[in-house]
């Protein structure tokens, strides 16, 4: 059977993101809309001084880098800039699959402070998928120049995730960002992000489908968020089944096998 480490879904992911070494370090994902200064944040965090142009789609080769804080090393993966995770484009698919299946320890979402509304749309979607989310409120100097003042406390209390204001090109806020990543990783900060509540017509259907999923494939509960999966199936996402096959089943064949026996056991009960 070809389920050696070469063919496993994890390896596909590792290969796609060029994560060949250093897998022992906690993996930090860097997500965000295009043109939010995400690449600059990446450079500032890792000390890589790559050139970053000002045009959408410049992060075509997923970059990875390392940074250390208080003796702990982290691996940082730069995801393609996207407006959403609904998998309408290859870039969105890559970003979604990484957050969903590579299970990063922390996901930093870089946000353009001058355009909070559009950026929060992505933040809400990421918080639906994973818990350890940190908001990097970038370009606050530009926002100030445009007369935009953001109530960080309020934003934090609404989203229930840490919000760190930064001016990445000047290096401002980068240490605070590292410190927060460190403390989330060590468990000192526990994040329970706000999960969006949809309109009743959506929520009712989700709950219904979620229950069915639990009944039918309940043994997978620890590996995928059923609420999220139900939403994807309901909105007619065609890519999720393909991604499940690509990363998930190949990745955990043994877990599914043991899970299956668990289902049988519960069936007996």
User: Which lies closer to other proteins via its Cβ, residue 35 or residue 72?
Assistant: 35
Residues 76-105 binding other proteins (CB under 8 A) are 83-84, 86, 88-91
Among 15, 68, 202, 221, binds other proteins (CB under 8 A): 202
Q: Which of 20, 73, 121, 264 binds other proteins (CB under 8 A)?
A: 121
Shortest CA distance to 226 belongs to which of 247, 201, 244? 244
Q: What is the dihedral of CA 105, 108, 109, 110, to 10 degrees?
A: -160
User: Smallest gap, in angstroms, from Cβ of residue 188 to other proteins?
Assistant: 26
Question: Up-side HSE of residue 228: CA atoms within 13 Å toward CB?
Answer: 22
Q: Considering only residues 235 through 264, tell me which ones interact with other proteins, judged by CB under 8 A.
A: 235-236, 241, 244-245, 249, 253, 256-257, 260
The DSSP bridge pattern shows strands 72-78 and 163-165 to be: unpaired
Listing DSSP states for 188-224 in one string gives SS------PPPPHHHHHHHHHHHHHHHHHHGGGTTTS
- By rule CB under 8 A, what string of x and - marks binding of each residue 30-69 to other proteins? ----xx-------------xxx-xxxxx--xx--------
DSSP reduced 3-state for 56: coil
Cβ distance 136 to 109 under 8 Å? yes
- To other proteins, the closest distance from the beta carbon of 58 in angstroms equals 8
Distances (CA, A) of 208 to 3, 46, 212, 230, 241: 34, 45, 7, 9, 20
Among the listed residues 220, 228, 243, 247, the single contact to other proteins using CB under 8 A: 220
Count of CA atoms in the C-beta half-sphere (13 A) of 186: 12
- Structure tokens given for 108: 């930093």
* Residue 151 CB contacts under 8 Å (≥ 6 apart), including other chains: none
Return the bridge partners of 65, or none.
76
The residue range among 15-23, 96-104, 122-130, 173-181 that interacts with other proteins, by the rule CB under 8 A, is 122-130
Q: Residue 201 Cβ, how far from other proteins at the closest point, in Å?
A: 6
Contact positions with other proteins (CB under 8 A) in 136-155? 146-152, 154-155
- Paired with 163 in beta bridges are 135
120 part of the interface to other proteins, by CB under 8 A: yes
Q: Is 231 in the site for other proteins (CB under 8 A)?
A: yes
Among positions 4-33, residues that touch other proteins (CB under 8 A) are: none
Cβ nearer to other proteins, comparing 34 with 72: 34
Kindly list the residues in this chain that would bind other proteins in the complex (CB under 8 A). 1, 3, 34-35, 49-51, 53-57, 60-61, 83-84, 86, 88-91, 114-121, 123-125, 146-152, 154-155, 158-159, 169, 196, 198-199, 201-202, 205, 209, 212-213, 216-217, 220, 229, 231, 233-236, 241, 244-245, 249, 253, 256-257, 260
């Amino acid at each position: 059977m070809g389920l050696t480490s070469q063919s496993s879904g994890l390896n596909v992911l590792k290969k796609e993101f060029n994560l060949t070494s250093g897998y022992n370090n906690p993996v930090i994902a860097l997500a965000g809309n295009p043109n939010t200064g995400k690449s600059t944040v990446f450079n500032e965090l890792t000390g890589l001084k790559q050139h970053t142009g000002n045009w959408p789609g410049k992060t075509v080769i997923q970059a990875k880098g390392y940074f250390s804080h208080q003796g702990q090393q982290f691996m940082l993966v730069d995801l393609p800039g996207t407006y959403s995770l609904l998998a309408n484009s290859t870039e969105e698919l890559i970003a979604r699959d990484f957050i969903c299946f590579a299970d990063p320890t922390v996901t930093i979402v870089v946000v353009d402070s001058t355009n909070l509304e559009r950026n929060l749309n992505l933040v809400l979607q990421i918080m639906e998928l994973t818990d350890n989310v940190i908001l990097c409120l970038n370009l606050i100097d530009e926002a100030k120049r445009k007369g935009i003042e953001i109530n960080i406390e309020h934003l934090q209390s609404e989203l229930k995730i840490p919000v760190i204001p930064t001016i990445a090109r000047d290096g401002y806020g980068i240490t605070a960002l590292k410190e927060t990543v460190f403390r989330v990783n060590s468990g000192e900060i526990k994040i329970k992000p706000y999960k969006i509540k949809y309109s009743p017509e959506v929520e009712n259907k989700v709950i219904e489908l979620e229950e069915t999923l639990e009944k039918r494939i309940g043994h997978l509960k620890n590996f995928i968020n059923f609420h999220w999966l139900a939403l994807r199936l309901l909105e007619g996402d065609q890519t999720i089944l393909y991604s499940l096959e690509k990363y998930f089943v190949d990745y955990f064949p043994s877990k599914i096998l043991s899970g299956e026996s668990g289902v049988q056991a519960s069936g007996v009960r």
